[in-house]
Amino acid sequence: MFNQRRNLRESADEDLMVLVRDGDARAFEVLFDRHAGPAFSLAYRMCGSRSRAEDVIQEAFLSLWRAGARYDPSRGSVRGWILSAVHNRAVDSFRRQAARPAGSLEEAGVIDRLASAELTEVEVERRADAERLRQALSELPDEQRKVVELSYFGGFTHQQISDMLSLPAGTVKGRMRLALTKLRLSLDEAGVIP
Protein backbone atom coordinates (compact mmCIF):
# COMPACT_ATOMS: atom_id res chain seq x y z
CA MET A 1 0.00 0.00 0.00
CA PHE A 2 2.81 2.38 0.98
CA ASN A 3 4.70 1.63 -2.22
CA GLN A 4 1.56 2.12 -4.26
CA ARG A 5 1.03 5.53 -2.71
CA ARG A 6 4.67 6.45 -3.27
CA ASN A 7 4.44 5.36 -6.89
CA LEU A 8 1.37 7.49 -7.39
CA ARG A 9 3.14 10.48 -5.86
CA GLU A 10 5.92 9.99 -8.39
CA SER A 11 3.64 9.50 -11.38
CA ALA A 12 3.23 12.04 -14.15
CA ASP A 13 -0.01 14.00 -14.26
CA GLU A 14 -1.03 12.40 -17.52
CA ASP A 15 -0.63 8.90 -16.04
CA LEU A 16 -2.67 9.92 -13.02
CA MET A 17 -5.41 11.20 -15.31
CA VAL A 18 -5.67 7.76 -16.88
CA LEU A 19 -6.22 6.29 -13.41
CA VAL A 20 -8.74 9.01 -12.50
CA ARG A 21 -10.64 8.19 -15.65
CA ASP A 22 -10.92 4.63 -14.29
CA GLY A 23 -12.25 5.91 -10.98
CA ASP A 24 -9.04 5.77 -8.91
CA ALA A 25 -9.69 8.08 -5.96
CA ARG A 26 -6.08 7.91 -4.73
CA ALA A 27 -4.78 9.16 -8.07
CA PHE A 28 -7.30 11.99 -7.83
CA GLU A 29 -6.01 12.80 -4.35
CA VAL A 30 -2.45 13.11 -5.68
CA LEU A 31 -3.63 15.41 -8.46
CA PHE A 32 -5.57 17.48 -5.96
CA ASP A 33 -2.54 17.89 -3.72
CA ARG A 34 -0.38 18.78 -6.69
CA HIS A 35 -2.61 21.40 -8.27
CA ALA A 36 -5.13 22.65 -5.75
CA GLY A 37 -2.74 25.32 -4.42
CA PRO A 38 -2.38 27.26 -7.68
CA ALA A 39 -6.03 26.57 -8.48
CA PHE A 40 -7.18 27.97 -5.14
CA SER A 41 -4.86 30.96 -5.50
CA LEU A 42 -6.36 31.75 -8.89
CA ALA A 43 -9.90 31.40 -7.59
CA TYR A 44 -9.02 33.56 -4.58
CA ARG A 45 -7.61 36.23 -6.87
CA MET A 46 -10.70 36.20 -9.03
CA CYS A 47 -13.40 35.93 -6.38
CA GLY A 48 -11.85 38.04 -3.65
CA SER A 49 -13.58 35.86 -1.08
CA ARG A 50 -12.40 32.69 0.54
CA SER A 51 -15.83 31.05 0.59
CA ARG A 52 -16.55 31.79 -3.07
CA ALA A 53 -13.09 30.58 -4.02
CA GLU A 54 -13.72 27.36 -2.12
CA ASP A 55 -17.01 26.84 -3.97
CA VAL A 56 -15.26 27.34 -7.31
CA ILE A 57 -12.48 24.89 -6.43
CA GLN A 58 -14.94 22.32 -5.17
CA GLU A 59 -16.96 22.52 -8.37
CA ALA A 60 -13.89 22.46 -10.61
CA PHE A 61 -12.22 19.46 -8.98
CA LEU A 62 -15.42 17.46 -8.70
CA SER A 63 -15.97 18.18 -12.36
CA LEU A 64 -12.46 16.86 -13.04
CA TRP A 65 -13.32 13.70 -11.10
CA ARG A 66 -16.58 13.23 -12.96
CA ALA A 67 -15.35 14.23 -16.41
CA GLY A 68 -11.71 13.14 -16.39
CA ALA A 69 -12.29 11.35 -19.67
CA ARG A 70 -12.59 14.72 -21.39
CA TYR A 71 -8.95 15.56 -20.74
CA ASP A 72 -6.99 15.54 -23.97
CA PRO A 73 -3.20 15.52 -23.44
CA SER A 74 -2.58 16.84 -26.93
CA ARG A 75 -4.25 20.10 -25.97
CA GLY A 76 -2.05 20.98 -23.03
CA SER A 77 -0.94 20.08 -19.55
CA VAL A 78 -3.16 18.76 -16.80
CA ARG A 79 -2.37 21.85 -14.78
CA GLY A 80 -3.43 24.10 -17.64
CA TRP A 81 -6.64 22.13 -17.99
CA ILE A 82 -7.41 22.43 -14.29
CA LEU A 83 -6.61 26.13 -14.11
CA SER A 84 -8.70 26.73 -17.18
CA ALA A 85 -11.62 24.90 -15.54
CA VAL A 86 -11.21 27.03 -12.42
CA HIS A 87 -11.10 30.21 -14.48
CA ASN A 88 -14.19 29.25 -16.45
CA ARG A 89 -16.13 28.36 -13.33
CA ALA A 90 -15.20 31.61 -11.62
CA VAL A 91 -16.31 33.59 -14.67
CA ASP A 92 -19.52 31.54 -14.85
CA SER A 93 -20.23 32.28 -11.23
CA PHE A 94 -19.72 36.02 -11.85
CA ARG A 95 -22.11 35.90 -14.77
CA ARG A 96 -24.72 33.87 -12.89
CA GLN A 97 -24.73 36.34 -10.07
CA ALA A 98 -24.39 39.38 -12.33
CA ALA A 99 -22.07 40.90 -9.77
CA ARG A 100 -18.45 40.69 -8.76
CA PRO A 101 -17.01 41.35 -5.36
CA ALA A 102 -16.00 44.99 -5.51
CA GLY A 103 -12.44 44.38 -4.47
CA SER A 104 -11.69 41.39 -6.61
CA LEU A 105 -9.82 43.21 -9.30
CA GLU A 106 -6.97 44.67 -7.36
CA GLU A 107 -4.40 42.33 -5.94
CA ALA A 108 -3.55 44.68 -3.10
CA GLY A 109 -7.16 44.82 -1.99
CA VAL A 110 -7.41 41.06 -1.92
CA ILE A 111 -4.25 40.69 0.10
CA ASP A 112 -5.38 43.29 2.62
CA ARG A 113 -8.66 41.56 3.19
CA LEU A 114 -6.96 38.21 3.52
CA ALA A 115 -4.26 39.36 5.84
CA SER A 116 -5.00 36.56 8.26
CA ALA A 117 -5.13 33.85 5.62
CA GLU A 118 -2.35 31.37 5.09
CA LEU A 119 0.18 33.09 2.88
CA THR A 120 2.66 30.27 2.56
CA GLU A 121 4.21 30.16 -0.89
CA VAL A 122 3.86 26.74 -2.49
CA GLU A 123 5.49 25.11 -5.44
CA VAL A 124 8.86 26.69 -5.08
CA GLU A 125 10.03 25.38 -8.42
CA ARG A 126 7.45 27.46 -10.27
CA ARG A 127 8.02 30.61 -8.32
CA ALA A 128 10.65 32.06 -10.59
CA ASP A 129 8.54 31.85 -13.74
CA ALA A 130 5.49 33.17 -11.95
CA GLU A 131 7.55 36.03 -10.56
CA ARG A 132 8.82 36.94 -14.03
CA LEU A 133 5.31 37.04 -15.33
CA ARG A 134 4.13 39.13 -12.39
CA GLN A 135 7.01 41.48 -13.00
CA ALA A 136 6.17 41.77 -16.69
CA LEU A 137 2.56 42.45 -15.82
CA SER A 138 3.50 45.12 -13.33
CA GLU A 139 5.69 46.84 -15.89
CA LEU A 140 2.82 47.34 -18.30
CA PRO A 141 1.33 50.81 -18.48
CA ASP A 142 -1.56 51.05 -16.02
CA GLU A 143 -4.22 51.38 -18.68
CA GLN A 144 -3.01 48.21 -20.43
CA ARG A 145 -2.62 46.17 -17.26
CA LYS A 146 -6.08 47.20 -16.16
CA VAL A 147 -7.85 45.84 -19.23
CA VAL A 148 -6.01 42.53 -18.90
CA GLU A 149 -6.93 42.23 -15.23
CA LEU A 150 -10.52 43.26 -15.78
CA SER A 151 -10.99 40.76 -18.56
CA TYR A 152 -8.99 37.78 -17.31
CA PHE A 153 -9.36 37.98 -13.55
CA GLY A 154 -12.62 39.91 -13.52
CA GLY A 155 -14.34 37.99 -16.30
CA PHE A 156 -15.60 41.16 -17.98
CA THR A 157 -16.12 41.37 -21.72
CA HIS A 158 -14.47 44.13 -23.73
CA GLN A 159 -17.87 45.80 -24.04
CA GLN A 160 -18.38 45.84 -20.30
CA ILE A 161 -14.89 47.22 -19.79
CA SER A 162 -15.58 49.83 -22.41
CA ASP A 163 -18.69 50.94 -20.51
CA MET A 164 -16.90 50.81 -17.19
CA LEU A 165 -13.96 52.93 -18.30
CA SER A 166 -15.94 55.12 -20.73
CA LEU A 167 -13.68 54.15 -23.58
CA PRO A 168 -14.49 53.17 -27.17
CA ALA A 169 -14.61 49.38 -27.61
CA GLY A 170 -11.83 49.60 -30.18
CA THR A 171 -9.56 51.28 -27.65
CA VAL A 172 -10.14 48.52 -25.12
CA LYS A 173 -9.37 45.83 -27.67
CA GLY A 174 -6.29 47.74 -28.78
CA ARG A 175 -5.00 47.95 -25.22
CA MET A 176 -5.57 44.24 -24.75
CA ARG A 177 -3.56 43.53 -27.84
CA LEU A 178 -0.71 45.83 -26.88
CA ALA A 179 -0.60 44.38 -23.37
CA LEU A 180 -0.52 40.75 -24.47
CA THR A 181 2.02 41.47 -27.20
CA LYS A 182 4.36 43.15 -24.70
CA LEU A 183 3.90 40.33 -22.22
CA ARG A 184 4.67 37.82 -24.91
CA LEU A 185 7.89 39.62 -25.81
CA SER A 186 8.94 39.89 -22.16
CA LEU A 187 8.30 36.22 -21.56
CA ASP A 188 10.07 35.22 -24.76
CA GLU A 189 13.13 37.16 -23.65
CA ALA A 190 13.01 35.60 -20.20
CA GLY A 191 12.59 32.13 -21.70
CA VAL A 192 9.37 31.57 -19.78
CA ILE A 193 7.47 30.71 -22.95
CA PRO A 194 9.46 28.50 -25.30
Q: Return the residues of window 125-144 that contact another protein according to CB under 8 A.
A: 126-127, 129-130, 133-134, 137
Min CB(108)–another protein separation in Å:
10
25 lies in the binding site for another protein (CB under 8 A):
yes
Residue 41: CB minimum distance to another protein, A = 5
| Sole binder of another protein in the list 18, 36, 165, 167 (CB under 8 A) | 36
Q: How many residues bind another protein (CB under 8 A)?
A: 72
Q: Would you say 51 and 3 are in contact if contact means Cβ atoms under 8 Å apart?
A: no
**Residue 17 within binding range of another protein, rule CB under 8 A:** no
| Residue 150 CB, nearest approach to another protein (Å) | 8
Position 112 contacts another protein (CB under 8 A): no
Q: Which of 50, 101, 164, 165 binds another protein (CB under 8 A)?
A: 50
3-state secondary structure the chain: CHHHHHHHHHCCHHHHHHHHHCCCHHHHHHHHHHHHHHHHHHHHHHHCCHHHHHHHHHHHHHHHHHCHHHCCHHHCCHHHHHHHHHHHHHHHHHHHHCCCCCCCCCHHHHHHHCCCCCCCCCCHHHHHHHHHHHHHHHCCCHHHHHHHHHHHHCCCCHHHHHHHHCCCHHHHHHHHHHHHHHHHHHHHHHCCCC
Stretch 158-177 residues interacting with another protein (CB under 8 A): 158-159, 161, 170, 172-174, 176-177
Binding of another protein at residue 104 (CB under 8 A)? no
State in angstroms the smallest separation of the CB of 113 from another protein: 13
